[in-house]
Amino acid sequence: MTAPRRQRKRRNFLVPTLSTAVMLAVLLGLGVWQLRRLAWKDGILAAIAAAEAAPPVALPAAPTPFEKVVVHGRYLPVIALYGAEVRETARGPTMGGQLLQVLVPAAGPPLLVARGWIPDGALAAFAEAAPAVSVIGFVRLPARPGWFTPRDDPGRLRFYTLDPARIGAALGLKTVAPFTLMAMGPPPPGGIPAPAENLPRPPNNHLSYALTWFGLAIALAVIYGLWLRRYWRQEGAGGDE
């Protein structure tokens, strides 16, 4: 066998083999990383389930989005509507949004409370002050508008980005808490506003992602094995020249 042919034979074997080894290591690494993410996410979901089953805690100075809290205060007759969501009602599919009302707590700045879903046109029915209340819920941190987020309409008290600072300023508030309290619990008589029923839970798709990466690794190994068998058959058939 001539030297150029030996070099070509070595290159024809090494390049696919090394490339396969690198890609296999990457795929297996991604699969292991997703398994670690799965364990981390399972821990978060277990903590959320425990918080949901436990009594609510007093609203801390720096609340997290995955804890159940309670706030005592009174509602001001300052309201707005957030978002656009169609829900099934007795009248059929109905467009509506989250009723936002300003709550003045016993201590601290006013805060926006998303009391629950109401249909369009029902906002004026809630424009009144309320006696002392206790609101149980969870917090949502400020959001930023995306590329396709509709523009807020302060004139109609309709907002599409849940940004307490911007909404509070549009409602005439000098100060407002830097988060929104999303009310939880059963709906009142009449069904509206319909608050959230559970704490939010982040998606947990890491097992399916891990299986996908491991599946691709197996497929790559099978393809390489078939190629390797064909390679050695060709080399055996060609023999040394």
Q: How far apart are CA 31 and CA 221, in angstroms?
A: 15
Taking only the tens of pLDDT, the chain with its 241 residues reads 565 666 666 777 888 899 999 999 999 999 999 999 999 999 999 989 998 889 999 998 888 888 899 999 999 988 999 999 999 888 889 999 999 999 999 888 999 999 999 999 888 888 777 778 999 999 999 998 888 899 999 999 999 999 999 999 999 999 999 999 999 998 888 888 999 988 989 999 999 999 999 999 999 999 999 999 888 887 776 654 4
What's the one-letter identity of residue 145? P
Beta bridge partner(s), residue 98? 82, 117
Strands (E), 90-210: 92-105, 111-119, 132-140, 158-159, 180-183
What pTM was computed for the model?
0.78
